[in-house]
Structure 1
Amino acid sequence: MKQNKEKNLTEWKHESSEDKITLKQIEPTRIEELTSFTLAGISAITTNETERSKDGKIGKLFEQFHSQNIGKKLGVNIQEDGHYSCYFNYEQGDAGLYEIMVSVKVQETSQLQSLDTINTFTVPAAKYAVFVTEKGPIIEMVQRAWDDIWQWSQQPDNNRAFTGDFEYYSKDINPEDGQAEIYISIK
């Protein structure tokens, strides 16, 4: 068995006289401990199964967030600090319902109470496995990274906490050729 490390991918090669099998497993770029912070934005409740169908809600939520300039409505200039896609209120880990919120980071929530469609969530202080997507069309790269993260989380030593996971998109991200960071809360 040969092990190579390149771009945070570990590649195992098993070679026999009849076949050659290559398995890839993504690894976090880093482990990071963060203090709590508050996000404000628009949200929906969904499942991974729903997101794999034509009834997926996440894409529509992103579209609404950007087309309605939600960041600016919150009094926060989205270009200053990028935006977040946060996953929380998991009912059965990644197998059941969860809430998704497309959002911006806010300091104060009292001024948001008059906005009916705006939700807030305080991302708890936690330890995170941080994954950086490949560079490319951002939607495709994030989906590909999540497929790898689901496989990574099935490994015995990778214990997700499901307290609040999020994607961070920098202020200057290029949707056609960008990268995002995905933070997975771990035990």
Structure 2
Amino acid sequence: MKYAERDAFEVVGIEIRTTNADELSSRGKIPALWQRFFAEGLLEAIPHRKPGAPILAVYSNYENGIHGAYSLLLGTEVTSVDGLPEGFVARAVPKAKYAIFESNQGPTAHVVPDVWKRIWTWNEGARAFVADFEVYDERARDPANAIVDVFISIVAP
């Protein structure tokens, strides 16, 4: 695990509201969100995409830490949030300090839940629950053999 500070940035994409309990049951919404994102080619439809920016999965609007509802936005970093097409949402990710967890290499359907299991057993008191995000960069282009970084906002020491 590494630590870094990141300046504020804006992300545009599509968003759902869910809970970890729902995602661990048959009521999970995240797989359908990913399917829609790729099936409808939504990355290419996002205006003002920052050149070379990876796909981001941004977790925000936490209701009660890991136990409550949260929002998940799939999208990418943008240079402007002006003129968004219908159905797209903009989310500002504030400047924060992060603990960065790197997944193992393998199928995203396995390595991403595995890295989140590590995060959930990590010192929850250090989490800020402001905005966390997964980074799907060039190392995640092949979903059968991917590495994903997860940035967890932390309380500054």
TM bin (shorter chain):
over 0.9
CA gap of 1:77–1:174, structure 2 versus 1, over 3 A, is farther
Question: Is the contact made by 2:12 and 2:77 (CA closer than 8 Å) also made in structure 1?
Answer: yes
Q: Does structure 2 retain, via aligned residues, the 8 Å contact 1:39–1:104?
A: yes
Q: How many residues align?
A: 154
For the 8 Å contact 2:5–2:97, the answer to whether it is kept is yes
1:175 is aligned with what amino acid? P
Whether 1:174 aligns to 2:142 is yes
Aligned to 1:36: 8
Q: Deviations over 1:23-70 (max 9, x none)?
A: xxxxx2x10000000000000000000000111111111111111111
* Amino acid aligned to 2:108: I
With structure 2 as the length reference, what TM-score do the two structures score? 0.93
SS of the aligned residue for 1:111 comes to coil
Of the candidates 160, 164, 172, which is equivalent to residue 131 of structure 2? 164
| Equivalent-residue separation in structure 1 for 2:36 and 2:70 (angstroms) | 19
Aligned to 1:71: 43
Q: Which amino acid is the alignment partner of residue 74 of structure 2?
A: V
Is the 1:166–1:184 contact (alpha carbons within 8 Å) kept by the matching residues of 2?
A: yes
1:108 aligned partner = 80
Gaps of 5+ in 2: none
Match of 2:58 in 1: 86
Relative contact order (alpha carbons < 8 A, sep ≥ 6): 1 or 2 greater?
2
Distance 1:148 1:73 in 2: 34
**Identical amino acids, percent of aligned pairs:** 31
* Corresponding position: 1:153 with 2:120: no
Whether the aligned pair in 2 keeps the contact of 1:84 and 1:103 (CA below 8 Å) is yes
The higher radius of gyration belongs to 1
Residue type of the alignment partner of 2:130: T
Root-mean-square deviation (CA), in Å? 1.6
